[in-house]
Structure 1
Amino acid sequence: MGREWVTVDEGRAAVPETPFDESERRTWAGSAEAYAAGFARLCAYPVPRLLDAAGVGEGTRVLDVGTGTGSVAAAARARAARVTAVDAEPEMVRSAARAVPDADVRTAALPHLPFPDGEFDAVIGNFVLNHVGRPAAALRELRRVTAPGGRIALTIWAAPAAPGQALLGRAVQAAGAVRPAHLPTLAPEDDFPRTAHGLATLLRAADLAEVTCRQLSWNHRTTIEEWWRGPAAGVASIGQIVISQPPAVIERIRHQLGVLAEEFMEADGRLVLPHSALLAVGAVG
């Protein structure tokens, strides 16, 4: 599983975990297999662009934060980078360690990383900011562990959501499902606009330089069975909403998904779902 944790700069003020963070831990607990069977392929699309943006190549010291099942870590190792990867969910850590056996993979969660200042040349966070309760504090921690001259490259889902990304939410709404109370949203004081300007502003507030942000758009090809499998297993917030409903409502959600998916269906029955994300990069001075 990699090296033991190290104690780093004990004088730094601790950032308390929020209700959103606690909810995220529960949401993703034990979800690695179900995530790998569905949403992981979707989330892997930006990986080559993230590595390019961060300048990852042979010998680059890379940190992959929120590695999930290891897509970024594996792609960075394929470029002969020296890879460290972390995730808050132990099952994800085990999955990533199997996928990238020559990487240092360990359990850790933002905004507290067990690394010295300036440890990495490139830090990658593929959709990780969507899953932290204090994005600004998370970015400050990413900056801390990045060496001077290094780069931080991040993706988040764009808002408003692209039509394919919104499909599951539309099915939930059409079925009359109610968001459960145990799924808090981000506190208003910690949130930021999920736009290119909003994400770039967040990076600049963390004292990153040369900040750029652009939108990525792509069509995700899948089947309705695969697209339903993750939510039905409770993967991500949308999955937690689904499995918290009574059986009759879950069946209505699945029916509505089938109805609404018709506009995205090709002649062979496969779905083509438009998605968009924001990719931002900044340099440490």
Structure 2
Amino acid sequence: MGDFDAFEREAWAGRAEAYARSFGLLCAHTVPMLLDAAGVGAGVRVLDVGTGPGTAAALAVRRGAEVHAVDAEPSMVERAARAVPEAAVQHAMLPELPFADGEFDAVVANFVVNHVGRPADALAELRRVAGPGGRVAVTIWSAPPAPGQALLGRALEAAGAARPSSVPTLAAEDDFARTEEGLTGLLTAAGLVGARCATLSWNHVADPEVWWSGPAAGIATVGQILHSLPPDTAAEVRRQYDVLAAEFRTDSGALSLPHTALLGWATTS
């Protein structure tokens, strides 16, 4: 396991409930479109990779699919298994999945490619477990980030909180452009055919305290950076967050946060 993947395992360890209450609500938005792109319906054998709290697995079950789901974080596996007892949920991580070649009709990964150290290898593994003519569909965050997505990073920057050297980035040879062209290119390089990509844009409405609770719990890179800061700097990040969040407040006091993601899909043949 490389430094990037090891960091990701630490960043998500034991945080399933905190994620489900915060960023998980955001990531749920793309699930219906993801399953549509993968052709998930009645009788389809589908694998949900990086299931998290089981959001995509649950909707696939409701559509009548035969659902398997995996996640690299044990607390996510436990939560998804409770939430979706109809699905076969187990612990596994990319790029090595415990399934035979061509075992599934469809494979989906909702905001998972963002969190692996070797994205090309991860997509090749998704292709491997999809059968002849099978569909693979993934979502990632686009770059540059939409204003709502950038809010927490702006608060860190405004507080003078530098990214610690201990927070790894992808190796240059493993990175790719977070654009429609970049994602379709990655899908094609993984051996998939007919790759397509769509940009998804929406406003995620969240209570300011709920949105802050994600990084406050140490979730993802922004949360790990926040947890690495001295208390006075962390307090300044919170103050800057409150100031900057005013740009997105609605009349009800909630935040309306613009987000943009990429949905890419392709087939094995």
TM norm structure 1: 0.94
- Which residue in 2 is equivalent to 1:40? 24
Deviations 1:65-104 (A, max 9, x none): 0000000000100001000000000000000000100110
- Which residue in 2 is equivalent to 1:159? 143
Aligned residues: 269
Q: What root-mean-square deviation, in Å, do the aligned CA atoms of Structure 1 and Structure 2 show?
A: 0.6
Deviations 1:86-137 (A, max 9, x none): 0000000000000100110000000000000000000000010000000001
* 2:125 maps to which of 141, 144, 155: 141
Q: Following TM superposition, where does structure 1 have runs of at least 4 consecutive aligned residues deviating by more than 4 angstroms?
A: none
1:67 is the counterpart of 2:51: yes
Q: 1:205-284 alignment to 2 at 5 Å? A: 205-284=189-268
1:78 is the counterpart of 2:73: no
Distance 1:18 1:125 in 2: 21
Distance 1:153 1:239 in 2: 27
User: Which residue identity lines up with residue 166 of structure 2 in the other structure?
Assistant: H
* 2:177 maps to which of 193, 208, 223: 193
Distance 1:180 1:236 in 2: 14
Distance 2:108 2:172 in 1: 25
1:174 is the counterpart of 2:180: no
Q: What SS does structure 1 have at the residue aligned with 2:173? A: helix
Q: What SS does structure 2 have at the residue aligned with 1:242? A: helix
Q: What SS does structure 1 have at the residue aligned with 2:29? A: coil
Q: Cα offset for 1:181?
A: 2.4
Q: What SS does structure 2 have at the residue aligned with 1:220? A: strand
Q: What SS does structure 1 have at the residue aligned with 2:78? A: helix
Q: What SS does structure 2 have at the residue aligned with 1:46? A: helix
Q: What SS does structure 1 have at the residue aligned with 2:137? A: strand
* 2:4 maps to which of 13, 20, 42: 20
Identical pairs, percent: 62
Question: Can you give the 5+ residue segments of structure 1 that lack an aligned partner in the other structure?
Answer: 1-16
User: Which residue identity lines up with residue 125 of structure 1 in the other structure?
Assistant: A
- Which residue in 2 is equivalent to 1:54? 38
